[in-house]
Chains A and B, each alone.
Chain A
Amino acid sequence: MNTNRRKFLKVAGLSAFALSSGLAGLGTASDACAQLAPGSYGHGDKTAHAKRWAMVIDTRQFKSAEDYKPLIRACHEAHNVPDIPDNKNIKWMWLDSFEHVFPDDMNEHMSQRIKNAVYPLLCNHCTNPPCVRVCPTQATYKMADGIVAMDYHRCIGCRFCMAGCPYGARSFNFYDPRLYLPKPTNPRFPTRMIGVVEKCTFCAERLAQGLMPACVEAAKGKILFGDLEDPESSVRKALAENYSIRRKPNLGTQPGVYYLI
């Protein structure tokens, strides 16, 4: 009887070791990661590359809100963003006053030009994006090139990201956006659906084709876009030569959108 017990304990011990060491799970784990398609994936030939995309907006060259209108139109038309006439509107790029945009830089007796101007706002594509941290489904994530992107397929509409974003850069689709888009303005780009959050994407789909973002193109040189890690890039040169500010820097999110004031 004793020898039988000894044998049993040996087998049981070995089985427990095999199971807990992960050998047993190895097959299924590699199956789950395996690629389905027989082909291979790669970057496009024309794709614009950067280590960290960033934007510099030269607000000195914009005289009024009217000057920003073509930029917003270009952005919203490129991405089928509806215009909803109430407080549930969708905004990828929008305007606001100095005291709302830069509350930390609000001083008494400041220059009337700076204080009374309007400023363009968009997703800041932060280095430490709070929206990514709070997303429970990883529907929003940071890509290797610094762009904070969204996968609308995975968004469950919990709106944690809207609470997390200190810049109000995210909009929730309270309505079916197609009700306010009788005809999609860009048939090459999808719309969104009711119940998902959306925001500016730094035009990742245009960068993949080697194009600059829609607002940068429409700004005709007043907005610069480039690689923040490359000392020779246009954005780095503009930041080296001018005084720039970012929104709410004390929060430590490290925005990727810079304003020349």
Chain B
Amino acid sequence: MYNKKAVMIGIVILVVLLSSPFWVGLFGTDYKETGVVKPNQEACVENAAFMRAQHMRLLNEWRDQALRNENRTYVAENGKKWEISLQNTCMKCHTNYDGFCQKCHLSNSVSPYCWTCHIIPTEGK
């Protein structure tokens, strides 16, 4: 084989580069926290695990119920009543857009376009 040394070095570099995501995953910084600033309220509409996983689906369901069926009240599993409104209910507690919504959306690389129409709360700015 010609240029045995260079070829071998090249192969090693290639293997390291291709497998680099695994090395970063094994020895890199452990990704656990998004640094979300939680609001002061004790509980959200439903429990935290449900909200974390399903909030966008819940918002879509709220939208369809409120706009199409005029069902503008949601009674949660624990019996608490909520007015169905992103701006007037959700954002009443989640007033910190940059600290709450944006922190998590950025670290998960999602860019929902809620705010082209809905108005971001400006409290404390």
Q: Do A and B come from one complex?
A: yes
Q: Which chain A residues have a beta carbon within 8 Å of chain B's beta carbons? A: 35-45, 47, 141, 143-145, 149, 151-153, 176, 184, 187-194, 204, 208
Contact of B65 among A41, A47, A193 (CB under 8 A): A41
- 13 further contact pairs, Cβ within 8 A, besides A38-B46, A187-B87: A36-B57, A37-B61, A38-B50, A39-B77, A40-B75, A43-B70, A47-B70, A151-B67, A152-B117, A188-B88, A189-B87, A193-B116, A204-B70
Could you count the A-B residue pairs with CB atoms below 8 Å apart for me: how many are there?
Answer: 76
Report whether B72 and A44 are in contact in the complex, using a CB–CB cutoff of 8 Å.
yes
Report whether A188 and B87 are in contact in the complex, using a CB–CB cutoff of 8 Å.
yes
Report whether B117 and A193 are in contact in the complex, using a CB–CB cutoff of 8 Å.
yes
Q: Which chain B residues have a beta carbon within 8 Å of chain A's beta carbons? A: 45-46, 50, 54, 57-58, 61-65, 67-77, 83-84, 87-88, 113, 116-119
Report whether A190 and B63 are in contact in the complex, using a CB–CB cutoff of 8 Å.
no
Report whether A151 and B68 are in contact in the complex, using a CB–CB cutoff of 8 Å.
yes
- Complex interface: chain A residues within 8 A of B84 (CB): 41
Report whether A208 and B70 are in contact in the complex, using a CB–CB cutoff of 8 Å.
yes
Report whether A39 and B76 are in contact in the complex, using a CB–CB cutoff of 8 Å.
yes
Report whether A36 and B70 are in contact in the complex, using a CB–CB cutoff of 8 Å.
no
Contact of A190 among B46, B61, B118 (CB under 8 A): B118
Contact of A143 among B57, B58, B63, B70 (CB under 8 A): B70
Report whether A39 and B74 are in contact in the complex, using a CB–CB cutoff of 8 Å.
yes
Contact of A41 among B45, B73, B119 (CB under 8 A): B73
Can you name 15 A-B pairs with beta carbons within 8 Å? Answer: A36-B58, A37-B46, A37-B74, A41-B71, A41-B74, A141-B68, A144-B70, A151-B67, A184-B119, A190-B117, A190-B119, A191-B117, A193-B113, A194-B116, A204-B70
- Complex interface: chain B residues within 8 A of A144 (CB): 70
By beta carbon, the residue of chain B nearest A194 is B116
By beta carbon, the residue of chain B nearest A144 is B70
Task: Give the complex CA separation of A141 and B69 in angstroms.
Answer: 11
- Complex interface: chain B residues within 8 A of A184 (CB): 119
- Complex interface: chain A residues within 8 A of B116 (CB): 176, 193-194
Minimum C-beta distance from A133 to chain B (A): 17
The 7 closest A-B pairs by CB, nearest first: A41-B71, A193-B116, A39-B76, A190-B117, A38-B77, A41-B65, A190-B118
